[in-house]
Amino acid sequence: MLSIDHLVLTVSDMQKTVAFYTNILGMALEEFIPPGATKPRLALIFGAQKINLHAVSQPYKPHAKKPVCGSADICFISDKSIDSWIETFKKHSVIIEEGPVQRTGACGPITSLYLRDPDGNLIEIANQN
């Protein structure tokens, strides 16, 4: 069986990305140095997964064939209610592009909100129904 350990986002402004995912979405920031490397890297921790951050100007190797900002589409399942998320996004002036809407997630029906991170990646925040 496979599961996701981490994914990588290519970002244009590390500070804006970190602020969005930590201050608004509530993820934890981790700095780490991979084996054999000399420079620290940044990751966003949520649950048992993480998002590694790669600066578009300095991609780590190996990397995606065409690493570009704003091409990701990610759905996060949350225990926090959709109504609470709506309030959080209003508080931080984050535009909700769509939702709440009904969708089908990996484990069944979900209620979702869609918004964009600082690089334009499509972020879906969902509650399982």
DSSP state string for 53-114: EEETTS--SS--SS--TT--EEEEE-SS-HHHHHHHHHHTTPPP-EEEEEEEETTEEEEEEE
Q: Is the pLDDT of residue 114 over 90?
A: yes
User: Which domains are seen in the chain, by residue range?
Assistant: 6-128 (3.10.180.10)
Q: What confidence tier does 15 reach under pLDDT thresholds 50, 70, 90? A: very high
Q: What confidence tier does 66 reach under pLDDT thresholds 50, 70, 90? A: confident
Query: How many angstroms separate the CA atoms of 93 and 105, rounded?
Result: 27
Q: Is the pLDDT of residue 59 over 70?
A: no
Residue pointed to by tokens 């969005």: 20
What is residue 65's predicted lDDT score, i.e. its pLDDT? Answer: 86
Query: How many angstroms separate the CA atoms of 46 and 28, rounded?
Result: 7
What is residue 62's predicted lDDT score, i.e. its pLDDT? Answer: 81
Q: Of 30, 31, 87, 124, which is the active-site residue?
A: 124
Q: Is the pLDDT of residue 61 over 80?
A: no
Through-space distance between the first and last CA atoms of the chain, rounded to whole angstroms: 25
Active site residue 87: no
| pTM (global) more than 0.75 | yes
